[in-house]
Amino acid sequence: MISLIVPCYNEEEALPIFYAEIKKVLGSMKTEYELIFVNDGSKDATLDILKELAKQDDGVVYLSFSRNFGKEAAMYAGFCNAHGEYVAVMDADMQDPPALLPDMLSILQQGEYDSVATRRVTRKGEPPIRSWFARRFYALINKISDADIVDGARDFRLMKKEMADAIVAMGEYNRFSKGIFGWIGYRTYWMPYENVNRIAGETKWNFWKLFKYAIDGVINFSQAPLSFASWFGIFMTVVSFFAVLFIVVRRMVFGDPVEGWASTACIIVFVGGVQLFCMGIMGQYIAKTYMEVKKRPHYIIAESNRADLEKVK
Ligand code: UDP
Ligand code: MG
């Protein structure tokens, strides 16, 4: 059996199109399936559509959250409740082409790989400035993190159950899936494809949200910003040592001209700024730690058509 996890947030327009398409693809694959739709607190008719689909199709499971918990939580709920031998995650907006699934499955069945991940090789249809920042982000995070994060990687991937179990075992509260997939390892086949635009509805990500998500990724998967603070501190200490030496020597050679108020003020302001910046970095890590130690659940399922569930986890 193959489990497909589909996070849905306000997808009333895209869902019927997605369902028709995935049904066609699954029909051609002749495998048993469970379609796990996770309704992430949608404010439109998404849940009604899902209920309707579940009535017509035994393979449809819906998990409906008590509020919007975000795509990461929706994917986690899917992983926690998937029973298939193979598990896949895909978006409801057709940006993850269902037509790739049969090829992905046959690669896994050959046994050489544990997961097949997709990577868009173009960013066609995306604002250029967003693409530029995205590329900088991937270059940076791969330098400073030990998780392997591939440029253009989508969350769309098909994996063996054991890999899905490893993802469930990564119970961290601050989730960054691209990092988690990379961190757990396993043999992954990368399948390239051309970027596809959303079929209907609107993206839930604006530039600012993506930017914050990127910062989250860095903080969750790297300690480099913390060591930056230490290295910069050492650098400043060395510089100030030579500055003191210079001033002492000048005092002995030229006497004591009282001047340099402006430069002193500049130095104080500069050092103060650097200190606040470094404290901010520390604060980011402390805030994440705070959220982790609270051990709040990732999601709460308020409604579902399945009885045996991890309702809160
Ligand atoms: N999504 C979700 N919860 C959210 C935001 C998005 O479950 O809070 C789902 C959404 O319904 C879609 C997928 O995550 O199936 C990807 O979202 P979107 O297409 O908006 O992101 P993009 O493809 O633009 O990165
Ligand atoms: Mg999308």
Residue with tokens 């002995």: 252
User: H-helix or E-strand containing 244?
Assistant: helix 224-254
Tell me what the mean pLDDT of segment 59-78 comes to: 94
The answer for residues whose C-beta is within 8 angstroms of residue 204's C-beta and 6 or more apart is 9, 10, 71
- State residue 167's pLDDT score: 96
Encode pLDDT of 201-249 as tens digits. Answer: 788 888 888 888 888 888 888 888 888 888 888 888 888 888 888 888 8
Q: What angle do CA 234, 238, 243 make, to 5 degrees?
A: 145
Q: Which ligand 1 atom is nearest residue 70's CA? A: 8
Tell me what the mean pLDDT of segment 38-61 comes to: 93
Give the mean pLDDT of the chain: 89
- State residue 38's pLDDT score: 96
**What does pTM read for this prediction?**
0.84
Q: Report which bound ligand comes closest to the CA of 177.
A: 1
Q: Where does the pLDDT of residue 43 fall: very low under 50, low under 70, confident under 90, or very high at 90 and above?
A: very high
> From the centroid of its chain, how far is CA 150?
12
Tell me what the mean pLDDT of segment 57-74 comes to: 94
Compute the distance from residue 74 Cα to the ligand 1 centre, in Å: 10
Q: Which ligand 1 atom is nearest residue 8's CA? A: 11
Cα 83 from Cα 115, distance rounded (Å): 16
Compute the distance from residue 81 Cα to the ligand 2 centre, in Å: 23
Q: Where does the pLDDT of residue 257 fall: very low under 50, low under 70, confident under 90, or very high at 90 and above?
A: low
Mutate to test the pocket of ligand 1, among 49, 93, 175, 203 (most ligand atoms within 8 A of CB): 93
Query: What are the contacts of 26-32 at 24+ separation with CB within 8 A?
Result: 26/2, 26/59, 26/101, 28/102, 29/2, 29/101, 29/102, 29/105, 31/1, 31/2, 31/105, 32/1, 32/2, 32/59, 32/84
- State residue 258's pLDDT score: 67
Q: Which ligand 1 atom is nearest residue 10's CA? A: 11
Compute the distance from residue 90 Cα to the ligand 2 centre, in Å: 10
**Tokens standing for residue 11:** 């997808």
Compute the distance from residue 96 Cα to the ligand 2 centre, in Å: 8
Encode pLDDT of 285-306 as tens digits. Answer: 999 999 999 999 999 999 999 8
Mutate to test the pocket of ligand 1, among 91, 118, 123 (most ligand atoms within 8 A of CB): 91
Compute the distance from residue 201 Cα to the ligand 2 centre, in Å: 9
Q: Where does the pLDDT of residue 141 fall: very low under 50, low under 70, confident under 90, or very high at 90 and above?
A: confident
CB atoms within 10 A of CB 148: 15
CB 273 within 8 A of CB 221: no
- State residue 3's pLDDT score: 95
Q: Where does the pLDDT of residue 146 fall: very low under 50, low under 70, confident under 90, or very high at 90 and above?
A: confident
Q: Which ligand 1 atom is nearest residue 6's CA? A: 15
